[in-house]
Amino acid sequence: MTGLTAACSRSTSAAQGADPPSPPPHSTPAGTLDEQSKAALGTAFDAGVAATGVAGVAAYVWIGDREWSRVAGVADLRSGQPFDPSAHVRIASITKSFTATAVLRLVDDGLLRLDDPVERYVPGLPNGAAITVSDLLGMRSGLYDFTSDPTFNADFDADPTMPWSDRRTLAIIKAHPVDFAPGQKVVYADSNYAVLGMVIEKVTGRPAG
């Protein structure tokens, strides 16, 4: 089963792109896409749109050779232009889903444990001996969010294609105090998943991508 969702949350219209995405390669379907499941997807889609208040969204699901899709909302709040499913949108943190899935696959394979301390894989982080893999997954680590660093943001705004490295990510995290003790709060921070990518690479010996 494969799904794709693209959303526009800004008031300006999205850039126009090519046709809606084609179904990705697939093997044995993991489920069925009959009328009942399509109705369930539609209900979930409508509830999600209503709950989030997203301006515009397009969703696609493929199972085997069957497809379901739904579009809602607008591309421009001022003009009311309908959301175009072929538009280009920023997908951003969708990579976190892939990262979490890869980590859980490693857990299933017995190569990693959710209660492992991050110090075992990425030494030298603040509270690294107390922060677990589970804390990183659940945004409970308390690590400083490196994308909140003013210098990082100034450099990124000046050049969004600037070269970057794990070493520079870790340097920013280590240069700032932690926000809270591990497990005390749930606070969204990109540092958690940047570090999880490093954990994946340490365990597998392969690039996270």
| Assigned token pair, 201 | 């690479």
Whether 140 and 195 have beta carbons less than 8 Å apart is answered as no
Instruction: Give the Cα separation of 111 and 200 in Å (integer).
Output: 10
Whether 193 and 145 have beta carbons less than 8 Å apart is answered as no
The single residue of 27, 93, 141, 191 carrying the catalytic annotation is: 93
The full DSSP string for 50-99 is HHH--SEEEEEEEETTEEEEEEEEBS-TTT-PBP-TTB----TTHHHHHH
Element (H, E) at 148: none
Active site residue 148: no
| Assigned token pair, 105 | 């696959």
Question: H-type helices in the chain, by residue range?
Answer: 35-52, 94-108, 133-137, 150-158, 166-175, 190-204
Q: Show which residues are catalytic.
A: 93
